Amino acid sequence: MPKNVFLTGRERTFHRDDVIVSKTDLKGRIIYANRVFLDVAGYTEKEVLGQPHSLIRHPEMPRCVFKLLWSTLEAGQEIFAYVVNRCKNGDHYWVYAHVTPSFDASGNIISYHSNRRVPDMAIVNEHIIPLYKMLLEEEQRHASRKDGMLASEQMVLGLLEQHGIAYDEFVATLGKAA
């Protein structure tokens, strides 16, 4: 867990019809945040613009999930992911994120766009929290943060291979009967 991260243990929620929207530049710095984002995360627009999106990263998120997210986006593909974020005051909130690269007329990636909705908390509680706990424990088992992240990434890849599906299919089918 990073140093100086204050957590309250309180969960915030937002309305099922609300969508949290943010855009970042290629370095992950926030260039747009809608009102829902600001209200839920507890920041002002002035506080978030130009800041790294990791500003809201919760320490219980496995680093390998963000590695997968960024490598997928940099490959020009969209990704869906369950993410727990940290509010300014230390509260947290879960989202089901859809993140896409934005392209210019020549097909170059120029930014990233994220829409986050209220997740199915049954899926979060039954599948995501145990998975992320296992991945985080693997990451913390290693002296090197990089080695830990690579080890947890291998756990995810092994899980996908075991089920014979790609990550996006895995996420899309969580909670659905086999």
Specify the CATH number for 20-175; select among 3.40.190.10, 3.30.450.20, 3.90.1150.10, 1.10.4030.10: 3.30.450.20
Q: What is the pTM of this model?
A: 0.93
Residue 16 backbone zone (phi > 0: left; psi -120 to 50: alpha; other: beta):
alpha
Least confident of 33-47, 100-114, 150-164: 150-164
Give the start-to-end residue ranges of the domains of the chain. Answer: 20-175
pLDDT at 1: 46
Q: What percent of the residues of the chain are helix, what percent strand, and what percent coil, each to the nearest 5?
A: 40, 25, 35
**pLDDT band at residue 136 using 50, 70 and 90 as cut-offs:** very high
pLDDT at 114: 98
Q: Which residue has the higher pLDDT, 174 or 142?
A: 142
pLDDT at 166: 86
Q: How many residues comprise the chain?
A: 178
pLDDT at 33: 98
Structure tokens at 98: 């859809």
| Sign, CA torsion 40/41/43/48 | negative
pLDDT at 3: 56
Average pLDDT in the chain? 94
pLDDT at 89: 97
pLDDT, average across residues 99-122: 97
Flag whether pLDDT at 96 surpasses 80.
Answer: yes
pLDDT, average across residues 25-33: 97
Share of the chain above pLDDT 70, in %: 97
